[in-house]
Structures are given as C-alpha cells and as structure tokens.
Amino acid sequence: MNRPESKTIKTKPHVLFVTEKWCDCNPNHGPTNSEHNFFGSLEATGLATQSRFHFDEYYFRFKRRGDEALLTLCMESNPDVIFFTWAPAGLHNPTRSTFYKIRHEMGIPIIVMWSDFVWAHFADLAKSLSPFIDLNVIRDSEATLEKVTDREKYLLMWTPQDPRIFYNPGLERDIRISFLGSIQDFPDRLSGIAKLKACGMDVYQTGGQREHRMSIEDYAQVYQRSTIVLNFNRTPGGTHLHLKGRVFEATLCGAMLLDSENPETPKWFEPMVEYVPFRGENDLVDKTRYYLAHDAERIEIAERGYRRAKERYSAEAFWKIFLDKAAGLTKAIKAQATLPEMILMDPSPGDIPKDQYLIPKLFEAGNYTTVAATGSPNQWQTHAALGLIGKTKEAIEGLSHFDQTEAYFFLAVAYWIGGDDTSAIHLLREIHTPHARNLLALIEKPNIHVLAQLPWTREAPHDLLTASNEDNKFRVKNISFDLRDLQNEPYADIHKFYNPERPLTSISARWWSGISFPRTFKSFPVQSSA
C-alpha cells in the first residue's frame, strides 16, 4: 500500500488522534473529555505512541481549515491508525477529499469514535462517510446498530478512563450521595435530585463543562469520596436512553452506582449485583434511603461493580481491542489492490525495480500525494510532487539537483507556486516544450482572468475567493447565487459569463477542491485558451 515509510524503527504502533481540543470546540468550555478518555488512557497503558491534531485549535490560531496541515502530519508521523471524533462545526472536521487521501492514497486506516450515536443524524453522517472509514466505534447504545446496513463496520465499546485519575485510592467516603454533570436541559436530573432533597437527603451536585466546570482530578475525587453516585441515562430533553461514561467513572472509583433503569447498562453490569437500577422518582428515593441505611449491602455491590469495571473495562482492555482491530485493518488494506488500473494492467518489466517503475506511473496519473510520500529522493517526480502539494521550498531544493527537462519544468512550476515569477519565467524561457510555452504565456500576462464556480465560506474570511483578492495577478469572476458574484441561474449557459473573443481560464469547484494554495491564489495552472 502507498504509505509513508517510517524514518525510525517502530517498537509500538502509533496512533494519530484527530479530535477536538476543547469541549464543543470552545476554549471557554475547557478541555475535551478526550483528554482523559482517550489521550490519557492510552498514554497510561504504554501500549502505543501517539500524536494529536486538533482542527478547532488550528482554526482558532490560523483562521483557516487544517486539512493541509493534517496531511503533512500524516506524512511526517506515519501513523498506523487515525483515531477520529466528529466535531460539531464543519470547519473543525476534515473534508471528504482529505479523508480520501488519508485512507485511499496513504493507506492509513481510519477509525471513528462516536459518542452520541442515539441521535439519527450521527448514523446518517456515519453512512455518508462509509467510503473513507474502516470502523465506527459506538459507545452509547447497542440498539442503534440495528439500523445500520454495513454492520461489519461497527464495533460496540465502552468509554475508557485514565487509570491514573479514575481509580479507588481508599479515601474516606464522606460524601453520601453525589451527581456530577449538567442539569440544564435534563428534566429527569432536575426532578430526581429535587425529590431526594425534598425527602431530607443531601445530594452533592456540581460539575458539567457548560455549567460549573471543574478539573478532571477534582471530578474524580468526588466519586472516590462518594458512597452512592447517581446516574441518569436520558439525553437532553429526555428523548433517548443511552449508556453514559459516568457508569464506568463511578464504578472505577469504587462508589455504588445508582442508575436510572435503561436497556444499555445491564449489558455491561449485572443489576442488583454490581449496581442498582431505579425506576421513577419514588423508587429512587426508596433505594437511596435503603442503601444509605444498609452499609454492608451497599459496600458489597460497590466492590463487585469495581471489580467488574477494573477487570473488564479498563483502559488496557480497551486499547488492546482497539489496536488489534487497527492492525487487522492495516493488514487488510495492504492486501487490497489499490494502485490505479492502468498500473495494474502494466506490470514492471523484470529488469526495472518496481518502485522506480511505479513512481513515474503514479505521477503521470496525478497521484501526487502518494508520490511525495513514497517516492525515492533519487527520482525527480518525488520533488515535483512535493511542489504540487504546496511544499515548494523542499521541491526547489530537490529539483535543483536534476538536469532532465521535466525536472526543470517542474522547478519553474514550484517557483511560480511559491510566488517567485521572475525565477519561473527565467527557467521557462530555456525550456522548449508545449507545456513550458503555455505556462510562460500565462505567467507573462499582466493579469490571468479566471472564471470560477466556488462557494463563499462565510464562516472563514480566508477562503479561496477572498484570498484571490490579495494576488493582483488574478482577476477572478465567480458564478454563484451569492449577490457578490456573477448571478447563476438553473440551466445557465456557461458561454453567457464571458466574452467569446477573450475566453477565460475556467476552473470548476470540483477541480479546485484537490489543490493546495501556498501563499496566495497561485497553483498549477489549468491550460488556458486565451
């Protein structure tokens, strides 16, 4: 498979986390739960190395999407698997094109972790991503899997916890009843806690990243000091019942879990043996009162729940399953025939090394990402591909050591993409090929007129159309239904948008989507008839 070659010998698998950095991608809401659920829990096991890429942090810092930076990180870190969580805002997720390049060009398996799969739109989203995703991990409801068509792409798991934070240190349990989490928009939580208080039982309630945020260490310590931890399983508004991470947090800290009755928790713990379910507010009051008065029974249930959680639902157990799945996916990807059909039908002659034969073929087919990631530094195509994906400095350095006409041409291309028109023109005047003449004529124009059909990105002020205004070389006329553009209409004739006596270079949104734009609007040009 066309994967970047590791520059160092790996002793452990490497996981690249592509997740949000902050809860709701909002710095004001504090760190994402992935910090302790995933990053910390994997680190604690020592089973793999890891790196992280946060789309929300990247956009917050640079005010643009992070797709190109993610692809570069994939090339540099050579991960064995991508661990991905879907962020609430589109700008904080990779594009389909990026998913395609990672999965089908680099050959890196992608596993998506879904937290609230009970909501139908997440199931629809997972289905739409199916061509790029190898495995979907569900951690809230087994019932939702009955609706999926490609069941083999789904795995039911639990929420792992960092064992350095969620454990039982044997502290005095001086908090009788606790509930940590949001209560706004959760009527069952509000009414249940109010009912207990009305019956004379004190409930320690705080937390919730959007209400009373607390550090994860303080959060865990409350459970380590609690005799009973309450859990309510309904989603906001009371719409769905699902499994909560609190089930594992409480049991790993040694508290007795008192959980609202639901179909999911019994699949992980035995009711009335390892935790206690309650049905309705009156039952909640009765069982809370009973177990507060019967210490021996409560402690026995809490200890059994703790043993089950520690033995079966530890971070180590989670990551062993995950990494085993990832290794199987990598093996399957390597076994697949993934090269372009033209290459498969044209095997390498026996006297030519396979890599030296395939790289030119891949370059000719336009598979620049794979060539840049896997090509030999002794092949000019490797350095040319780097220039075409935006790494112009590296391309110029590499191409300068070759004396083939093609290398000179792509050296000129790299200079032009990098913004050095003078060097590009100087080289192109010495190259007498049709491509060189076409590019030279284009660069020497006072302006390059472009007819485009691209969407404005209202959320991002630095989209392609806005960036084009910063490069005086280009005169871009965009066709859309936006009032800022040439007005589109259903079944419009493309010829109405330009002067036939001076045809424009036409660039479609489909073509644009796969190209990177270093510095300004410049990139490898479409052949112009002007």
Q: Which two tokens stand for residue 390?
A: 């935006």
The label of the residue with tokens 């070659």 reads: 5
C-alpha dist (Å) from residue 223 to 168, 184, 295, 306 = 9, 21, 17, 12
408-467 confidence digits (pLDDT tens): 999 999 998 888 889 999 999 989 898 899 999 888 888 888 888 877 665 555 566 777
Average pLDDT over residues 386-397: 91
Q: Cα 112 to chain center, whole Å? A: 8
The two tokens of residue 172 are 């005095």
Within a 13 Å sphere around the CA of 124, how many CA atoms are in the beta-carbon half? 3
List of domains in the chain: 14-156 (3.40.50), 175-311 (3.40.50.2000), 340-444 (1.25.40.10), 448-530 (no CATH)
Distance, in Å, from the CA atom of 450 to the CA atom of 293, rounded to the nearest integer, reads 79
pLDDT cut 90: percent of the chain above it: 51
Distance of alpha carbon 523 from alpha carbon 468, whole angstroms: 11
pLDDT band for 209, please (50, 70, 90 cuts): low
Distance, CA of 103 to CA of 110 (rounded, Å): 7
What's the confidence (pLDDT) of residue 346? 45
List the structure tokens of 450. Answer: 């472009």
pLDDT of 516 higher than 70: no
| Gap between the Cα atoms of 108 and 101, Å rounded | 9
List, in sequence order, the alpha helices (H) in 253-404.
280-293, 295-312, 315-335, 341-344, 354-364, 368-374, 380-388, 392-399
In this structure, what DSSP letter does residue 504 have? P
Identify whether the C-beta of residue 230 lies closer than 8 Å to the C-beta of residue 192: yes
Q: Tell me which of 157-166, 285-294, 375-384, 498-507 is least confident.
A: 498-507
> Helix (H, G, I), strand (E, B), or coil: what is residue 357?
helix
Helix (H) or strand (E) holding 505: strand 505-508
- 468's CB contacts (< 8 A; 6+ apart) are 450, 474, 476, 520, 521
Enter the tokens of residue 189.
């939580």
Query: Per 3-state DSSP, what percentage of the chain is helix, strand, and coil (rounded to 5)?
Result: 45, 15, 40
The answer to whether residue 345 scores a pLDDT higher than 60 is: no
Give the three-state DSSP class for 421: helix
Asked which of 61-75, 208-222, 404-418 is least confident by mean pLDDT, the reply is: 208-222
Which one, of 334, 172, 365, 163, lies nearest residue 252 by Cα?
A: 163
d(CA 75, CA 41): 25
The amino acid sitting at 294 is H
Is the predicted pLDDT of residue 270 greater than 80, yes or no?
yes
Least reliable range by pLDDT among 275-284, 476-485, 511-520: 511-520
Task: Decide: pTM greater than 0.85.
Answer: no
Task: Report the alpha-carbon distance of residue 17 to residue 37 in Å, rounded.
Answer: 12
pLDDT of residue 343: 43
The encoded tokens of residue 71 equal: 């692809």
**Exposed / middle / buried, residue 493 (Cβ in 10 Å: 0-12, 13-18, 19+):** exposed
N-to-C CA span, the chain = 41
Contacts of 3 (CB under 8 A, 6+ apart): 78, 106, 107, 108, 373, 374
Q: 444: helix, coil or strand?
A: helix
With CA atoms as reference, report the closest residue to 472 among 517, 522, 438, 424: 522
Does residue 472 carry a pLDDT above 50? yes
- H runs (alpha helix) in 346-482: 354-364, 368-374, 380-388, 392-399, 405-417, 421-428, 434-444, 464-468
